[in-house]
Structure 1
Amino acid sequence: MMRTGSTTGTIRTRRTVRAAAAVVATGLALTLGGCGGDDDGGGAETVPDEKPVTVDLPKLDGETLEIAAVWTGAEQKNFKQVLAEFEKRTGAKVTFVPAQDPIINFLGSKIAGGKPPDLALLPQPGAVKQAVEKGWAKPLGAAAAKELAENYSQGWQDIGKVDGKSYGVYYKAANKSLIWYNNQVFENAGAAEPKTWDELLTAARTVYDSGVTPFSIGGADGWTLTDWFENIYLSQAGPEKYDQLAAHEIKWTDPSVKEALTTLAEIWGKQEYLAGGAKGALQTEFPASVTQTFTGGDQPKAGMVYEGDFVQVNIGETKAEVGTDAKVFPFPAVGDSAPVVSGGDAAVILNDSKAAQALATFLASPDAATVHARLGGYLSPNKAVEMSAYPNDVQREMAQALIEAGDDFRFDMSDQAPQAFGGTPGKGEWKALQDFLNDPRDVAGTQAKLEADAAAAYGD
């Protein structure tokens, strides 16, 4: 049976952020301040003491809550400051529970043991749907639904729905169509920011000829590889095909997939272009793929690293300053236009209590997002957040582009898939693309493996 996405037919409203591309392209050239060497990862300026109060929250003295997410490092640390604000306002005590991928399996073990967290942040719409189908997720109450209706575009509301009911608050969003580069490397090599795929290949060759390996890839984390594929596929095959493949309405053996994989192999197939070669890339986790690009001055392990706006969090763990040492350009156009793929994390209630509903309501409000925005390395789809809350010009440009795009976006394809295919380490799309990174000559074999795994996961 074919599916129209990971929740309902409303998911088909996901479109590329076309408006974002032009805004981000200009905004990314701006110089940032206060972003280097801050171990909180946010590149944040001093957070003002005053906090916005726009949502009424109940008194919850003595109540305890747990919220689970796969976030680590600075991302986790910053989110805990948001939870601290909720504690201050309500009197409740909130514990952050570190989860492992796939989070659905993690939650399943907790539920089987009789100790599920009260809420969880799910990084895939497919995981939200699975949580609903398993009877774990609880609908959002009236207060949280009111915040969603007031603060979110219809598209962001819809991707948190299953069968017309709201289950997920998309607390965090991401622009996953950016390539970050070591500015010293580019300047020394005489490389220019590319706008097309061919220009990216030229820039890579220029960097390589200067004595620096062009790309750092966090291949140990399979999700980074799916993001590479999705950007190429969206730009090359177009939005309609993207939607069809995301819903498994066309097979992974389709010629459009072959074309995208062949294009991807133009970089992945050049061992000398990858830090550590394919073997090294497959042993590199995402955070290290970023930090090794921005340490070592003008002789880092690589000159460029692809991933979303959240790369700033990891750059903040180095001595590089974003905007001077570390710069960024939009993922180049492979087809007629440059892609912009969006992602996000949805807060879902697992234990339907007054306190859990209050925390979901808080996370749907501009109050929570404003606290997090000030810490840096974060974008919110909440349109009520003031742009001044973001700590630097580039993040303000990214956030403004996200809000101005409204419903005009396309969501990360692998996140729309059943988690067994699109979000499980060592399985499905993650594993197939890791194998492809290891042997980019095997396009047909990769397509066959992707299709077999997709058919099993979608129940076709």
Structure 2
Amino acid sequence: MKKKPLAITASAAALSLLLAACGQGGTENTGAEGNTADAASPKIKLSIWHNFSGDDLRAQAVRAQIDKFKTEHPEIELDAQAIPPDGYRQRLKTVAAADEMPDVFFTQSGTSIKEFYDGGLIQPITPLLDQYPEWKNNFIPGSLDTLSFDGQVYATPLSGSATSFLFYNKSLFEQYNVKVPTTWDEMMTAVKTFNDNKITPISLGNKASWLAQSSIISSLADRVTGTEWFKKAVAQDGAKFTDPEFVQALSLFKELADAKAFQTGFNSLDNTQMEQYFIEGKAAMMIDGAWALTNMAASGTEEQLNQVDVTILPSVPGGKGDPNSMSGGSGGGLALSKHVEGDQLKAALDLIYTVSGPEAMEAIANSNSIVTYNVEPDQTKVMPLFYKAFNLYKSVKLTPVYDAYLTSSATEAVNNGLQEISMGGNPEDIAKKIQEAQARELGQ
């Protein structure tokens, strides 16, 4: 008699299993009554878009932090999309126009994030920074300025922006007895000498058109005009892009193109091809951003990397800008859609901290990437070239990157205009197009 209740219980259990098996019908039944906890607590869905899609070490470091979040949060269904950089900004604009932003997304600092702020598409992450004051206080002073509005922070920089390093091949300079240029005359002499010896003077890949703007004209023009002039021209307050000093800056870029400083077909090559061309020793110089460091670290051999050194662009005659400078500042960061709330908001903030917090900053720095965070790169993990570039970055004045300040229309006018100039276009005509685009978008 004592065993009967146990037998009934066992039979009931067996019947329950049988009914559950029959109910499945050969497919997964996530809503079965035996799984009421899961039914009552469905997974939180979260989306993140970013442009760290390549094989470079920085992209790998960022994606590794996203994967870490996935592993640590099985209760969250994370849709992570890595979108190639060239089409990334346009894709964001498309979803922004329909107010269908991803929950978390990477955006550049300056103009890019300001457009999302002005459109009321994002919400601040200040509460997250306040939750982790040690993280907040370790960013280099000023790092959060171009990612903040009305006293609220909308993203923290995943990296530092340094867009105009002058990389050069030490072996080629020594072989042809060329001085590393510190003045414009020395630059043009170097261009001529390398051309005479059938060596491409400067590797350039301007297929996507932003490279020449970001890496060359941003720094070169500042040397001519000075930073204050540029800020006035951006605001259309006391300066215009048709002013003689800016036309002079565009003329210097034309001087490089006319002197055949760049390889044949540079407007049909992307920046990855450009960097590969340089690291293989086919060009004596390359003007590129900090991203080139992690790209070269991923693709170059130790022998190739040992041939590369780094400095800044040369001074220009009569320039009003500081010659000990380069264009740069805070890079972009992860922004938060205004629609995220409740448990999804908590999950999104946790994701941002995982990808942007102290551990991530250390991982990104050790991927040969500059960060605007107080962390010392591990010299056993980074290449000597990166360590030198990082210290160079910290020793110079940082000046504006054009596309972080100009309106979208004016940025496009600069990008397209530099391609036009490189194919024989007139600097005065291009300056007029840039001026009209900036004034029009500001309603002036």
TM range (shorter): 0.7 to 0.9
Preserved CA contact (<8 Å) 2:45 2:77: yes
Bigger radius of gyration among the two? 2
* 1:144 lines up with 2:129 in the alignment: yes
* 1:326 lines up with 2:316 in the alignment: no
Give 1:238 shift: 1.8
Q: C-alpha distance in 2, partners of 1:63/1:289? A: 42
Aligned counterpart in structure 2 of residue 239 of structure 1, from 224, 227, 230: 227
Q: C-alpha distance in 1, partners of 2:436/2:99? A: 35
* 1:293 lines up with 2:278 in the alignment: yes
- SS of residue paired to 2:52: coil
* 1:230 lines up with 2:214 in the alignment: no
Instruction: Kindly tell me the number of residue pairs found equivalent between the two proteins.
Output: 384
Give 1:104 shift: 4.9
Give 1:156 shift: 1.2
Preserved CA contact (<8 Å) 2:205 2:266: yes
Give 1:246 shift: 3.7
Give 1:226 shift: 1.0
CA RMSD, Structure 1 to Structure 2 (Å): 2.7
Give 1:339 shift: 2.7
Question: Aligned in 2, Cα 1:393/1:234: closer, same or farther, shift over 3 Å?
Answer: same
Equivalence for 2:378: 388
Q: TM-score, normalising length from structure 1?
A: 0.76
Matches within 5 A, 1:93-112: 94=78, 95-98=80-83, 101=86, 103-110=88-95
Q: Deviations over 1:285-305 (max 9, x none)?
A: 11111111222x5xx2x3221
Give 1:260 shift: 0.9
Q: C-alpha distance in 2, partners of 1:195/1:438? A: 27
Q: Deviations over 1:251-293 (max 9, x none)?
A: 110111011112222211223x3210xxx11111111111112
Q: Deviations over 1:396-431 (max 9, x none)?
A: 3444555677xx633312222222332xxxx32211
Equivalence for 1:211: 198
Which residue identity does 2:225 align to in structure 1? A
Preserved CA contact (<8 Å) 1:82 1:372: no
Give 1:307 shift: 0.6
Segments of 5+ residues of structure 2 without an aligned counterpart are: 1-40
Equivalence for 1:412: 401
User: Relative contact order, CA 8 A, sep 6+: which one is greater?
Assistant: 1
Q: TM-score, normalising length from structure 2?
A: 0.78
The answer to which structure has the higher helix fraction is 2
Q: C-alpha distance in 2, partners of 1:109/1:182? A: 41
Preserved CA contact (<8 Å) 1:144 1:357: no
Preserved CA contact (<8 Å) 1:67 1:119: yes
Preserved CA contact (<8 Å) 2:62 2:360: no
Preserved CA contact (<8 Å) 1:246 1:414: no
Which residue identity does 1:78 align to in structure 2? A
Equivalence for 2:327: 341
Equivalence for 1:79: 62
Matches within 5 A, 1:23-172: 62-75=43-56, 76-91=59-74, 92=76, 94=78, 95-98=80-83, 101=86, 103-110=88-95, 116-145=101-130, 146-147=132-133, 149-172=136-159
Q: Percent identity?
A: 20
Preserved CA contact (<8 Å) 1:66 1:97: no
Which residue identity does 1:312 align to in structure 2? L
Preserved CA contact (<8 Å) 2:310 2:385: no
Aligned counterpart in structure 1 of residue 358 of structure 2, from 362, 366, 387: 366
Runs of 4+ aligned structure 1 residues displaced above 6 Å come to none
- SS of residue paired to 1:187: helix
Give 1:210 shift: 1.9
Preserved CA contact (<8 Å) 1:230 1:413: yes
* 1:437 lines up with 2:422 in the alignment: yes
Q: C-alpha distance in 2, partners of 1:96/1:270? A: 42
